[in-house]
Amino acid sequence: MRQTTPFSKSSALRAAISLLQGRLVAFPTETVYGLGADALNRQAVSRIYQIKERPRSHPLIVHISNTNLLKYWVIEIPDYAQQIAEQFWPGPVTLILKKNPMINDFVTGGQSNIGIRIPNNSCALEILRNFEAIGGTGVAAPSANMFKSISPTNAQDVWKELGKRFSNGDLIIDGGNSKIGIESTIIDCTKLHPKILRPGYITQTMLENFLDIKLKKFTQKNKINHSGEHLTHYQPKTPLFVNITPLPGDGLIALSEIDTPQSVYRLSTPETLDSFASSLYSSFRKADEMKLARIVVILERQDGIAEAIMDRATKASTRILN
């Protein structure tokens, strides 16, 4: 297959047709690149698990272009979930809702809940709209990386990560860099109150202010037992440490206000938390390619997206077992 296909109106239509024919299509979203398949096609969904070497019990997020399709996938949408959807979709938020029992559960790893998201990326939306116009109902898409590896934030990284595993007819649509760079905020909406299962660009404070309620604090301990929640998820090959002093030969990721010590390689110098997030995973990949001794992430802030950055950096970090 061709390495990557530039996004255009015609490649978006081709991508939609390919999806409906059971092919896999990697496509950009504002968070990270997704590896898409027709969510109703058992064989296509099965290939996602095969290619990623992801355990079958780990559910996939279904991507749609508008809320009219929600009724197909879910029953019972609590008022607060409806409000979150209206406010933050299209956007970097995945809502976990009670699955319509008519829907087969191969996309949800056998669970009775389903994750749904409307991404805020013009390429993704164009592909989804085309897909729906020709009869599709949703695109299942995990991040387009091997299980336990780092999510890709551009088309080249998808190719490097999975290219050899694709078949003829599969596509990687190149729509530039993912703007946010870390995966969506996941909110469990199956109970009386919403609960954050994975932090992201839409923060707990934003949700609390919007809904005017206090949410249970997200901690590493009250997480769900699925792939995003494995201790060793998001790991680069290079050992990674958080908030320690870098040594000569290390790679450093820190805000621009922090100086680079001598003989340390500066992997990125973001001026803002947003650019810290959007360059995080490509910096991890750069360190792997350069075979640096270690990656050191320094970030002492806790506001806004810093929480999600620290969540990903901590999961990527090397644990000293004792």
Among 25, 38, 49, 115, binds ligand TXA (CB under 6 A): 115
Residue 207 interacts, among ligand TXA, Mg ion, none and using kind-specific CB cut-offs from 5 to 8 Å, with: none
Compute φ and ψ for 68, nearest 5 degrees: -60, -25
Indicate whether 143 belongs to the interface with Mg ion (CB under 5 A).
Answer: yes
User: Hey, how many other C-beta atoms are within 10 angstroms of the C-beta on 12?
Assistant: 25
Nearer to ligand TXA, 91 or 251 (CB): 91
For the CB of residue 260, give the shortest distance to ligand TXA in the complex, in Å: 31
65 near ligand TXA (CB under 6 A): no
Query: Smallest gap, in angstroms, from Cβ of residue 194 to ligand TXA?
Result: 13
Q: How far apart are the first and last CA of the chain?
A: 47
User: Out of 138, 152, 181, 228, which residue is the one contacting ligand TXA (CB under 6 A)?
Assistant: 228
Query: Residue 38 corresponds to which tokens in the numbers above?
Result: 């027709």
Least distance from C-beta 112 to ligand TXA, angstroms? 9
The count of residues interacting with ligand TXA (CB under 6 A) is: 28
One-character DSSP codes across 73-141? HBS---HHHHHHHHHH-SSSEEEEEEBPTTS-GGGTTT-SEEEEE----HHHHHHHHHHHHTT---EE-
User: Is-contact 279 236, C-beta < 8 A?
Assistant: no
Sole binder of ligand TXA in the list 157, 183, 307, 311 (CB under 6 A)? 183
Interaction of residue 121 with Mg ion, rule CB under 5 A: no
CA distances from 258 to 56, 244, 263, 282, 300 (A): 43, 13, 15, 20, 11
Among 96, 240, 295, 297, binds ligand TXA (CB under 6 A): 96
**Residue 109 vs residues 60, 114, 119, 226: alpha-carbon distances, Å:** 8, 9, 22, 10
Regarding 141 and contact with ligand TXA (CB under 6 A), the answer is yes
Using CB under 6 A, which of 114, 173, 189, 280 touches ligand TXA? 114
Closest residue to bound ligand TXA by CB: 228
- With a CB cutoff of 8 Å and minimum separation 6, the contacts of 189 are 77, 78, 80, 81, 84, 95, 96, 97
Near ligand TXA by CB under 6 A: residue from 60, 277, 305, 306? 60
Q: How many residues bind Mg ion (CB under 5 A)?
A: 1
Name the minimum Å distance from CB 44 to ligand TXA: 15
Selection from Mg ion, ligand TXA, none that 111 binds (CB < 5 to 8 A by kind) is ligand TXA
Which are the contacts of 267, defined by CB distance < 8 A and separation ≥ 6? 251, 252, 253, 283, 286, 287, 292, 295
Place of tokens 């969904």: 45
Q: Which of 4, 11, 94, 238 binds ligand TXA (CB under 6 A)?
A: 94
The verdict on 178 binding Mg ion (CB under 5 A) reads no
For residues 1 and 302, what is the distance between their CA atoms, to the nearest angstrom? 43
State in angstroms the smallest separation of the CB of 63 from Mg ion.
Answer: 14
Structure tokens at 216: 């249970």
Q: Which is nearer to ligand TXA, 18 or 108 (CB)?
A: 108
Under 8 Å between Cβ of 292 and 265: yes
Rounded Cα distance between 233 and 33, Å, is: 17
Q: What residue ranges bind Mg ion (CB under 5 A)?
A: 143
Q: What residue ranges bind ligand TXA (CB under 6 A)?
A: 29, 31-32, 34, 58-61, 94, 96, 108, 111, 113-115, 117, 119, 141-143, 183-184, 186, 224, 226-229
